[in-house]
Amino acid sequence: MGVCLSSQWGSAWTWTTHAGGPAPCLRFEPVRGTAGEVLDFHQATPGASAEPVGHGWVLPACVSRWEQEGVRGLRLEDCARVVDTGEPVSVVLRIAREGNMEARFRAVGTKALDAFVLWLLPDDADDAQALREALEREREARHRAEGALEHATARLAREALDGTARHLALQRLTEEAEFRERFIGILGHDLRNPLNAIALSARAMAQRTLPAVQQQQCAQRIEASAARMGAMISDILDLTRARLAGGIPLHLGTVSLAIVCRMVVEELSAAHPGRHITLDVEGASEGFWDADRMAQVLSNLVGNALEHGAEDAPVRLKCIAVDGEQVLEVHNTGAPIPSQHLETLFDPFRQVGTGAGKGHRRGAGGLGLGLFIVKQIVQAHGGAVCVTSSAAAGTTFTVKMPRDARQSQVPAPSGVRRRV
């Protein structure tokens, strides 16, 4: 099957090259073997500026078929050498036709990227001049191709960046919408319970017909419900500070964590008289932290362990000095936290159950913000908190902090004052 030398498919070419105008060219793409060797060249589309070079003359589509179909002057190995070495070649093409007629075309072959380009020249063209012009045209063509490629690459990069930015923005908006919806739902549900308890108890006491014992029970119920609501409001304020106000504020000072641990153990032991809590202190425990916030961290972690651990096993609290850091460990045995929930355990409002059906995120009457606030407090001290949980080893929360939290304080966002 032959390919007609034409600037448009199906139309024959006639020689009308103008002086100073671009020469017609043919582009051939290499066909390579498995080892990368050139097996043949297949003609691609002709150059856009190609002018006709002979009415009705036909070239085979593959260079390997030229000689057997009467095209001489350029061999397959010549084309391969140009592509492999980059050295141009000057030839005279002879195309035989029936009746002993022959067409002659002077041509220069050059390399263009990985392709072979055959520039067709007038018969009176000087070889050296023709070669220089062909090389110059090849350089111009390559420069235009490289410029177009660079422009296309930059455009694709911008589009990809814009797409990524839009995706991230949409993801943030979706997360914020889900967060607000979850926040409003949980807040309305969990605050309503203690509020209803207060309202019912107050209504019963207003009747003034209750025995003294029941009146005392109503008063205690009101006090407990108010305390629960106060704790929820404190958690909400901490959540707001963590997300909007540059982090939870700290009041740093010289603190003995051993003393803070003992205070928390005594308070929780009194609140859970049937449970056993052990405390081990190893090494120094003095540092520069926020005592009240650290008590909040310990109270939350130990309280979680008491609520979700095995009732017949002790909860173990350790305060350890390790290489300039302070390490706190809270351990309990019992049903483990499901592994699929460990990564999101410190996210706000995460309802996570253990194998026994208990939740490690939300205690009775809580908003599910406890571990989220623990993480924010520890991070504000320049530390980190993690958890491991298995049926064999139990559940262990580990807090690691620098001994002096002042070195870890980072500037708050513009307009936000961090209290120290």
In angstroms, the CA 116 to CA 86 distance is: 10
CATH number at residue 98: 3.30.450
Same-domain check for residues 263 and 389: yes
CATH number at residue 371: 3.30.565.10
Of 125, 143, 177, the one marking the end of a domain is 125
At position 365, the amino acid (one-letter code) is G
State the pLDDT confidence band at 362, using cuts at 50, 70 and 90: very low
The most confident of 7-21, 65-79, 90-104, by mean pLDDT: 65-79
Same-domain check for residues 77 and 35: yes
Same-domain check for residues 240 and 260: no
SS3 for the chain is CEEECCCCCCCCCCCCCCCCCCCCEEEEEEEECCCCCEEEEEECCCCCCCCCCCCCCEEECEHHHCHHHCEECCCHHHHHHHHHHCCCEEEEEEEEECCCEEEEEEEEEEEECCEEEEEEECCCCCHHHHHHHHHHHHHHHHHHHHHHHHHHHHHHHHHHHHHHHHHHHHHHHHHHHHHHHHHHHHHHHHHHHHHHHHHHHHHHHHCCCCCHHHHHHHHHHHHHHHHHHHHHHHHHHHHHHHHHCCCCCCCCEEEEHHHHHHHHHHHHHHHCCCCCEEEEEECCCEEEECHHHHHHHHHHHHHHHHHHCCCCCCEEEEEEEECCEEEEEEEECCCCCCHHHCCCCCCCCCCCECCCCCECCCCCCCCCCHHHHHHHHHHHCCCEEEEEEECCCEEEEEEEEECEHHHHCCCCCCCCCCCC
Of 244, 262, 291, the one marking the end of a domain is 244
Same-domain check for residues 184 and 272: no
Same-domain check for residues 308 and 350: yes
Same-domain check for residues 307 and 380: yes
Same-domain check for residues 232 and 308: no
Structure confidence at residue 209 (pLDDT): 77
CATH number at residue 208: 1.10.287.130
Structure confidence at residue 49 (pLDDT): 39
Give the residue from 105, 75, 138 showing the smallest Cα distance to 5: 105
Q: 195 and 229 in contact (C-beta within 8 Å)?
A: yes
Same-domain check for residues 309 and 186: no
Same-domain check for residues 399 and 263: yes
Q: What is the mean pLDDT of residues 112-126?
A: 72
In angstroms, the CA 49 to CA 202 distance is: 95
Q: What is the mean pLDDT of residues 355-384?
A: 70
Q: How many domains, the chain? A: 3
Structure confidence at residue 277 (pLDDT): 95
Residue 417 covered by a domain: no
Residue 274 covered by a domain: yes
pLDDT tens figures, 7-31:
332 323 333 333 334 556 788 888 8
Residue 184 covered by a domain: yes
Percent with pLDDT over 90 in the chain:
21
Same-domain check for residues 236 and 269: no
Residue 148 covered by a domain: no
Classify strands 38-43 and 58-60 as parallel, antiparallel or unpaired. Answer: unpaired
Percent with pLDDT over 70 in the chain:
72
Same-domain check for residues 166 and 259: no
Structure confidence at residue 207 (pLDDT): 78
Q: What is the mean pLDDT of residues 197-224?
A: 83
pLDDT tens figures, 216-261:
888 888 887 888 777 777 777 777 767 665 677 888 999 999 999 9
State the pLDDT confidence band at 192, using cuts at 50, 70 and 90: confident
Of 99, 125, 151, the one marking the end of a domain is 125
Parent domain of 95: 2-125
With a CB cutoff of 8 Å and minimum separation 6, the contacts of 84 are 38
Same-domain check for residues 220 and 323: no
Name the region of 72 (left: φ>0; alpha: ψ -120 to 50; beta: rest).
beta
Residue 269 covered by a domain: yes
State the pLDDT confidence band at 392, using cuts at 50, 70 and 90: very high
Residue 135 covered by a domain: no
As given in the structure block, the two tokens for residue 162 are 């814009």
Residue 215: other Cβ atoms inside 10 A: 16
Structure confidence at residue 19 (pLDDT): 34
Q: Which residue has the higher pLDDT, 299 or 329?
A: 329
Structure confidence at residue 59 (pLDDT): 67
Residue 93 covered by a domain: yes
Residue 144 covered by a domain: no
